Amino acid sequence: MSATAPQPAAVETAPALELRDLEVAYRVRGIWREVLRGVTLSIGRNESYGLVGESGCGKSTAAFAALRYLPRNGRVTRGSILVDGQDLLGMSENEVRELRVKKVSMVYQNPTAALNPSIRIGDQVAEVYALAGAHDGEARQRAHEMLGKVQISDPASVMRRYPHQLSGGMNQRVVIAMALATDPSLLILDEPTTGLDATVEGEVLDLVKMLREEFGTSLLFITHNLGVMAKMCERMGVLYAGRLVEEGPVAEVFARPSHPYTVGLLRCIPRGGVRKDRETLDTIPGFLPQLGADLPACVFTDRCGLAEEICHREEPPFHRVTDGHCSRCHFYDRAQTVPRATPAPPVPREDRRVEPVLEARGLRKTFHQEGNAIHALADVQFALKEGETLGLVGESGSGKTTLARSLIGLSPADEGSVIELDGARLAPNVTKRKRDQVRALQIVFQNPDSALNRRFSIHRIIGRALTMLKGERGEQREEHLRQLAHSVRFDVRLIGARPAQLSGGLKQRVAIARAFAGDPRIVVCDEPTSALDVSVQAAILNLLVELQASKKVAYLFISHDLGVVRYLSDRIAVLYLGRVMELGPAEHVFDPPQHPYTEALGSAVPTAEGTERERIRLVGEIPSAASPPSGCVFHTRCPRYIGDICRDEEPALREVEPGHFWRCHYSAEELREVQKTPPPEQPLTAREASEPTGGNLRPSEVDRST
Amino acid sequence: MSSFGEPIGSSVTAGEPPVADDQLSVPGPEDTRVMRRERMAVLLHSKTFIAGAVILAFWIVCAIFGKLIAPDDPLLTDPIKALQAPSSAHLFGTDTLGRDVLSRVLVGARDILIVAPLATLLGTVLGTVLGLVMGYFRGPTDDVLGRIVDAVLAVPVVIVGLLSLVALGPSTITVIFVIGVVFTPVIARTVRAAVLTEREYEYVAAARLRNERTPYILFGEILPNVLGPVLVEFTVRLGYAIFTIATLSFLGFGIQPPAPDWGLQIYQHYGLISGGYWWPVLFPALAIASLVIGVNLLSDGISQAFER
């Protein structure tokens, strides 16, 4: 970085970003609708500030406003935006462009969409320097250095590649490199890790943290993930319906939330290893008001359990809770006493010893692509008992979804695989299964927008399932349909609506109702809440727990959110490269002794408590299933690598404790001992050399280029 | 599409709790009508659509009531008045047989407005079925059908039409059939592309998980979701069909004399242009052009409404 021109002293002391009473409106169908309603906040130099809130609260609008980069139908209606003490609203277009080049940068949620797919990485990064006035050769040289700074091990080769040849995590590093290229004073990160795996997320967050210290950049961090917030930010603000309702130091806000909305958000997430049999998750009653709706004086009144008459009448001032911790609530001192929206007692856990409903043995699935055999599932085995939840975790590419699709028969397993339902062997392909078998094994997909036919009414979607799976017609079907809608808390009056008219949570309820139409024995849940906001997620998880208790259905629950899996599961299976690496009771899997892969996976997840474990870095990315590593497939990245035995011999899945299985050469006692201390930084010598995937590059790409 | 807030308070309690009140504020089925009305509003505010609709409506009125509107009998020959230039008696002049060109142009809309939509409809139905099958099954089915489609597409439409009409003999039914078949591949390709996207949606997987039969999945689940592109494709092809039929008539293989068809009129008189008798050719040509343009404007308007 060349030294920037000397600046007046006044600018040096001004906050990196200051929003003063900012109001932003969007014009939708001819009417101006308020999105931000008087937001005032200030981010100091070298400070990291987080903004939380559900989707639609105005987080991203605040970020875009800080760049004066609002969509065409948006405009600032009041207030001011100051970057480094300079008023953004008074600037000309050229001055704003200059500012975006030099002072403010932004990192978006989807790195692959943020990069131009047809320009090589090197040219894209160099362009940023060229814009800032560097010569061609110098720009490339600097791009090379910057890519090194974001811990890309082979910048020269990465610079020659196109975005689609790199993984999501790598692309996000490139985007961060571009954002930091001109040494901005403010970096805005809009959900930078939402689309990434837990292990990659951990790495990217560590990187941002490290770079921030090196560059002294101020951060505006936007996220809906409270764990990420706790890890990354010093101060935070909570946005609700375009208004900042609480602000303060992160630890302070988490320990003493002083606005009912913050309290609700914190109660929604399964924290501290809470499990379904001990506590139901709380939800926030009501729903987010529509854009620009007329709101009572306190914007949260309609959803607040503490609301009194004064809340309708008088806008609460920013009460000071402690130094620097403010809350916009009349009753800030008793915000934590807000009554629970879900008073229901948790469902007691029953310990049954019954025959498994579903059993899989030697389950294999091979895809053939361009002459390569890709073993997506290799010898998976597990059993599912009645009314039990088996959680399934693993990085993307580990085979979670393939396993789900093989079980339900959409993507038939290889010959020789055994899937048994109540002891009777199931045909691999769903079209060959009997009706009773089909209805016994159903799925709730991740994205209800895709899973519900948008041309059909809810009535037709659920009704058709009842007709096909139970052969019901006429009045009997109508009656059953009403019951079903009721059991998933779906208002029967909305039954004639189409999916597009419903919110995400309601759509997912319809998808759940459809899965339950044929009284299933097993329901596969493929990340059913990952597209939803936390408070909606809590309601859906509660619903799943309740349905399980009343219908005795077993779940195979897939999620990348370890907190959610832990909350819901009785047992957890950890998948890596299509193999079960560990399988055990939920309460044991995430504590030592545990498989080294599970250990690394668990350590990567930021917790909302802020109590951070020593994070275990995994080297490189998940290898290609087309050419899995020899021996133990995890040996190339294992933080507890023993030696040649790991490279040469694949360990079997064996029972180390009653009901607890893993695939590792270590014994339980040995691991318990070893895991008392964090592993040494990864030794990369012999193993990296033997690794065919070449570190950072996506394996399939290397295969193609050799 | 607007999204509505999430009702969250649906508390989970044992027994039979009431449905959470907050769900009530989510708009009900009447909203479907609102969506439809909005789409209609887009159409009615689109100048392209209105212009196209007016032109098409004019020709449809002519096709139905042509004989009543026309000042003269379009089939009445009068050799004494042959090839008179446009005048107050005959606004568009008369042709070689002394027939009134204006009347023939007005009445001439009828044949083409029956033949072209029927031919396009046939092509759309065949193409949609073919496209659904190709897109859904992919694999060998798609490969084989796809090659055939490519082969048909590679040959110029008019040549295929001419050869088939020569082989089958010119008649209105043959024209409809030939143009329908010739248009099938293009429509099939469009529909196939739309189906390739649709089949990846999980509602298709969900249908298979209810033991639905393949025809139901194709026509019951997927077809309603590709109707937008199908409708747009229909209007686009309609324009081409008018053009193609006019061309075939001009070549003598389309609509047969003495019908007052536009293409036929041009065919019968184009040799006279060099002699200065431009009116029996120009007015039917303008009629064809206006109809094609009208249909294309309409088609643009519709595709804009569906893109939203």
Residue B307: predicted pLDDT: 66
- DSSP secondary structure code for residue A4 in this structure: P
Residue of B nearest to A485 (CA): B19
Distance from CA of A518 to the nearest CA of B (A): 9
Q: Does B147 map to a domain? A: yes
Q: Please determine, for residue A198, whether its predicted confidence score (pLDDT) is greater than 90.
A: no
ipTM of the assembly? 0.79
Q: Does B268 map to a domain? A: no
With beta carbons under 8 A apart, name residues in chain B contacting A242. Answer: none
Instruction: Please state, in angstroms and rounded to a whole number, the distance separating the CA atoms of residues B258 and B197.
Output: 49
Fold matches, A9-233 and A357-456+502-576? yes
- Mutate which: B2, B4, B6, vs A, most A CBs within 10 A: B6
Is B234 in the same domain as B119? yes
Contacts of B28 (CB under 8 A, 6+ apart): A493, A494, A496, A497
Q: Does B124 map to a domain? A: yes
Grouping H, G, I as helix, E, B as strand and the rest as coil, residue A75 is strand
- Mutate which: A489, A536, A567, vs B, most B CBs within 10 A: A489
Smallest Cβ–Cβ distance between A489 and the set B2, B20, B202 belongs to: B20
Q: How confident is the model at residue A343 (pLDDT cuts 50, 70, 90)?
A: low
Q: Please determine, for residue B20, whether its predicted confidence score (pLDDT) is greater than 80.
A: no
Contacts of A198 (CB under 8 A, 6+ apart): A395, A560, A562, A601, A604, A605
Give the range among A4-13, A307-316, B20-29, B153-162 with minimum mean pLDDT.
B20-29
Is B183 in the same domain as B304? no
With beta carbons under 8 A apart, name residues in chain A contacting B194. Answer: none
Is B201 in the same domain as B83? no
- DSSP secondary structure code for residue B222 in this structure: I
CATH number at residue B209: 1.10.3720.10
Q: Which two tokens stand for residue A25?
A: 């409106």
Is B124 in the same domain as B45? no
Side by side, which strands form the sheet with A86-87? A31-43, A17-28, A74-83, A86-87
Residue A351: predicted pLDDT: 60
Distance from CA of B31 to the nearest CA of A (A): 7
Instruction: Please state, in angstroms and rounded to a whole number, the distance separating the CA atoms of residues A274 and A238.
Output: 24
Is B176 in the same domain as B232? yes
Superfamily of domain A357-456+502-576: P-loop containing nucleotide triphosphate hydrolases (3.40.50.300)
Comparison of pLDDT for B68 and A342, the residue scoring more: B68
Instruction: Please state, in angstroms and rounded to a whole number, the distance separating the CA atoms of residues A160 and A158.
Output: 5
Is B287 in the same domain as B239? no
Q: How confident is the model at residue B3 (pLDDT cuts 50, 70, 90)?
A: very low
**Mean per-residue pLDDT for A127-153?**
87
Residues A152 and A207: beta-carbon distance below 8 Å: no
Residues B273 and B280: beta-carbon distance below 8 Å: no
DSSP string, A470-512: H---HHHHHHHHHHHHHHTT--GGGTTS-GGGS-HHHHHHHHH
Q: What is the mean pLDDT of chain B?
A: 82
Q: What is the mean pLDDT of chain A?
A: 84
**Mean per-residue pLDDT for A319-332?**
90
At B172-184, the pLDDT tens digits run: 888 899 889 889 9
Residue of A nearest to B221 (CA): A453
Q: Which two tokens stand for residue B141?
A: 């089915």
With beta carbons under 8 A apart, name residues in chain B contacting A279. Answer: none
Check A506 against B7: CB less than 8 A apart.
yes
Q: Please determine, for residue B25, whether its predicted confidence score (pLDDT) is greater than 50.
A: no
With beta carbons under 8 A apart, name residues in chain B contacting A284. Answer: 8-9
Is B255 in the same domain as B114? yes
**Mean per-residue pLDDT for B226-245?**
90
Q: Does B173 map to a domain? A: yes
Residue A687: predicted pLDDT: 45
Distance of CA A396 to the CA centre of its chain: 12
Is residue A195 exposed (0-12), middle (13-18) or buried (19+ Cβ within 10 Å)? middle
Is B248 in the same domain as B282? no
Residue of A nearest to B11 (CA): A342
**Mean per-residue pLDDT for A250-265?**
91
Distance from CA of A401 to the nearest CA of B (A): 13
Q: Please determine, for residue A386, whether its predicted confidence score (pLDDT) is greater than 70.
A: yes
What is the span of the domain harbouring residue B51? 31-108+278-308
DSSP string, A616-658: PPPPS-PPPTTSPPSSSTTTTT-TT--SHHHHH-PPP-EEEET
Q: Does B244 map to a domain? A: yes
Q: How confident is the model at residue B308 (pLDDT cuts 50, 70, 90)?
A: low
Residue A346: predicted pLDDT: 62
Query: What is the percent of chain B where pLDDT is above 70?
Result: 88
CA dist A412 → A363, A390, A468 (Å) = 10, 21, 22
Distance of CA A307 to the CA centre of its chain: 32
Instruction: Please state, in angstroms and rounded to a whole number, the distance separating the CA atoms of residues A642 and A596.
Output: 11
- Mutate which: B12, B217, B308, vs A, most A CBs within 10 A: B12
At A607-657, the pLDDT tens digits run: 666 555 667 777 767 787 778 888 888 888 888 888 888 888 888 888 888
Grouping H, G, I as helix, E, B as strand and the rest as coil, residue B191 is helix
* A466 reaches B (C-beta below 8 A): no
Give the range among A390-399, A614-623, B3-12, B115-124 with minimum mean pLDDT.
B3-12
Is B64 in the same domain as B167? no
Residue B302: predicted pLDDT: 85
Q: How confident is the model at residue B27 (pLDDT cuts 50, 70, 90)?
A: very low
Helix residue spans in A34-120 (DSSP H): 59-66, 93-102, 111-114
At A396-437, the pLDDT tens digits run: 878 898 999 999 999 999 998 999 998 899 999 998 999 899
Check A457 against B29: CB less than 8 A apart.
yes
Query: What is the percent of chain A where pLDDT is above 90?
Result: 32
With beta carbons under 8 A apart, name residues in chain A contacting B25. Answer: 287
Smallest Cβ–Cβ distance between A284 and the set B8, B14, B202 belongs to: B8
Smallest Cβ–Cβ distance between B209 and the set A283, A438, A503 belongs to: A438
Is B134 in the same domain as B255? yes
Where are the strands (E) in B39-158, listed by range? none
Residue B232 host element (H or E): helix B223-250
Q: Does B2 map to a domain? A: no
Comparison of pLDDT for A531 and A174, the residue scoring more: A174
**Mean per-residue pLDDT for A268-290?**
78
Domain ranges of chain A: 9-233, 260-337, 357-456+502-576, 598-705
At A215-235, the pLDDT tens digits run: 889 999 998 888 888 888 999
- Phi first, then psi: what are they for A185, rounded to 5°? -85, -20
Is B67 in the same domain as B165? no
Q: Does B298 map to a domain? A: yes
Instruction: Please state, in angstroms and rounded to a whole number, the distance separating the CA atoms of residues A63 and A80.
Output: 14
Check B22 against A287: CB less than 8 A apart.
yes
Q: Does B187 map to a domain? A: yes
Instruction: Please state, in angstroms and rounded to a whole number, the distance separating the CA atoms of residues A12 and A228.
Output: 29
Sign of CA dihedral A119, A120, A121, A125: negative
* A443 reaches B (C-beta below 8 A): yes
Instruction: Please state, in angstroms and rounded to a whole number, the distance separating the CA atoms of residues A394 and A633.
Output: 14
- Phi first, then psi: what are they for A524, rounded to 5°? -85, 125
Cβ-Cβ contacts under 8 Å between A and B: the total is 168
3-state SS string for B1-29: CCCCCCCCCCCCCCCCCCCCHHHHHCCCC
Check A497 against B29: CB less than 8 A apart.
yes
Q: What is the amino acid identity at position A137?
A: G
Instruction: Please state, in angstroms and rounded to a whole number, the distance separating the CA atoms of residues A375 and A373.
Output: 6
Residue B147 host element (H or E): helix B139-154
Highest mean pLDDT among A340-344, B162-166, B205-209: B205-209
Residue of B nearest to A538 (CA): B8
Q: How confident is the model at residue A514 (pLDDT cuts 50, 70, 90)?
A: very high
Give the range among A652-661, A687-696, B232-241 with minimum mean pLDDT.
A687-696
Is residue A689 exposed (0-12), middle (13-18) or buried (19+ Cβ within 10 Å)? exposed
Q: How many domains does chain B have?
A: 2
Give domain A9-233's CATH architecture. Answer: 3-Layer(aba) Sandwich (3.40)
Residue B35: predicted pLDDT: 63
At B268-298, the pLDDT tens digits run: 888 888 888 888 889 999 999 999 999 999 9
Contacts of B171 (CB under 8 A, 6+ apart): B256
Is B184 in the same domain as B97? no
The bridge status of strand A319-322 relative to strand A325-327 is: antiparallel
Residue B10: predicted pLDDT: 35
Check B6 against A504: CB less than 8 A apart.
yes
**Mean per-residue pLDDT for B240-259?**
84
**Chain B interface with A: residues with Cβ < 8 Å:** 1-14, 16-17, 19-20, 22-29, 31-32, 35, 201-203, 205-206, 208-212, 221, 224-225
- What does chain A come to in residues? 706
Distance of CA A641 to the CA centre of its chain: 29
